Amino acid sequence: MRFRKTQQRVTDPGRVMRAAGYSLSGLRAAFRTEAAFRQEVIVFALLAPLGLWLGRDGVERALLLGSLFQVLIVELLNSAVEAAVDRVGRKWHELAGRAKDMGSAAVALAVLLAALTWVLVLADH
């Protein structure tokens, strides 16, 4: 009986709509409160059409756009970590600082990967 209830919830179309709403709320919150996310969205908006135009085939376009999406995804995760750490407390703690630094490092690596992807794909033209 318990399995049926779970199965019904998984296939509930309303669940999909609620999940989409939560995702849109998260994007709006990040755009409203995170300057870095806004800057990365602007870079995405400028480079995405260029990536579609410069990519010679679907694979190149996927690499160029995917690397840009990856930066946004990692920034969202970094912002979520920072919000959770700040929720626990504003007082400095070594583990809190380490978590925030690791999130920042993840964003830096995503940006580096995006830049490297663009250089390698476009250098082959």
Which tens digits make up the pLDDT trace of 34-57? 999 999 999 999 999 999 999 999
Look at residue 93 and give its three-state secondary structure.
Answer: coil
Is the pLDDT reported for residue 72 higher than 50?
A: yes
Q: Yes or no: say if 61 and 52 are a contact pair by the CB < 8 Å rule.
A: yes
Co-location of 89 and 117 in the same domain? yes
DSSP state of 3: H
Co-location of 23 and 40 in the same domain? no
Measured distance CA(61)–CA(121) in Å, rounded: 9
Instruction: Match 């990967």 to its residue by tokens.
Output: 113
Co-location of 45 and 58 in the same domain? yes
**CATH code: domain of residue 63:** 1.10.287.3610
Co-location of 75 and 17 in the same domain? no
Co-location of 47 and 26 in the same domain? no
Nearest to 85 by CA among 64, 103, 75, 99: 99
Mean of all residue pLDDT scores within the chain: 93
Phi and psi angles of residue 12, each rounded to the nearest 5 degrees, phi first: -70, 120
Is the pLDDT reported for residue 10 higher than 50?
A: yes
Both structure tokens of 47: 């480079």
Confidence at residue 90, expressed as pLDDT on a 0 to 100 scale: 82
Domain count along the chain: 2
Co-location of 9 and 22 in the same domain? yes
Co-location of 38 and 77 in the same domain? yes
Co-location of 55 and 77 in the same domain? yes
Co-location of 12 and 70 in the same domain? no
Co-location of 22 and 51 in the same domain? no
Polymer length in residues for the chain: 125
Measured distance CA(99)–CA(75) in Å, rounded: 14
Co-location of 65 and 86 in the same domain? yes
The pTM of this model reads: 0.88
Mean pLDDT value of segment 8-21 = 84
Catalytic residues: 75
Domain span at residue 96 reads 34-123
